[in-house]
Amino acid sequence: MEKSQFMNKIKFYFFIFLFTCFFSSVLYAEKNYFAEGEGFFLKKNLAKSKFKFEKDIVFNPKNEKSYLYLAKIYKLENNDKFQEQNLNTVILLDPKNEEGLYLLTLLKLKQSDYERSKELIKIFTKVCKNLCKKESELREKFKNLK
């Protein structure tokens, strides 16, 4: 084997090693940011939680769970605009996300958006599996909106 072939093989394996290290650290970071954000959220540290979920979205823009947690944070902060943006993203990524549908319906009821509330309640009714008990609550609030 020639010296140049040997050097090419070493370069190739070194490249593969660096490539593997880079992507494994990115994958670790994705999971880590979400878990850290969830931990801070449970401890009621909303600022740190929000930052971690935003970082998670940078690495994984399709993680509906991060958007859902951000919506919950904005709900606690009474920021309807950003809550709605994040909930709309949750529904865009997963149209059957029960919790996202439920929270968006509550927000639309709060905003007295009769038509959108009615639509969301219908969708929620069709997809609910775990939060079906909340349907009667939504219907009652909807009746009070009329």
Note the pLDDT of residue 28: 53
Note the pLDDT of residue 44: 96
Question: Tokens standing for 42?
Answer: 């449970």
- Dist CA 132 CA 136 (whole Å): 8
- Dist CA 135 CA 45 (whole Å): 30
State the residue for tokens 């079906």. Answer: 132
Per-10-residue mean pLDDT, the chain, length 146:
64 58 52 92 96 95 96 96 97 95 94 91 85 77 72
pTM of structure? 0.74
Degrees, nearest 5: CA angle 135-106-44: 110
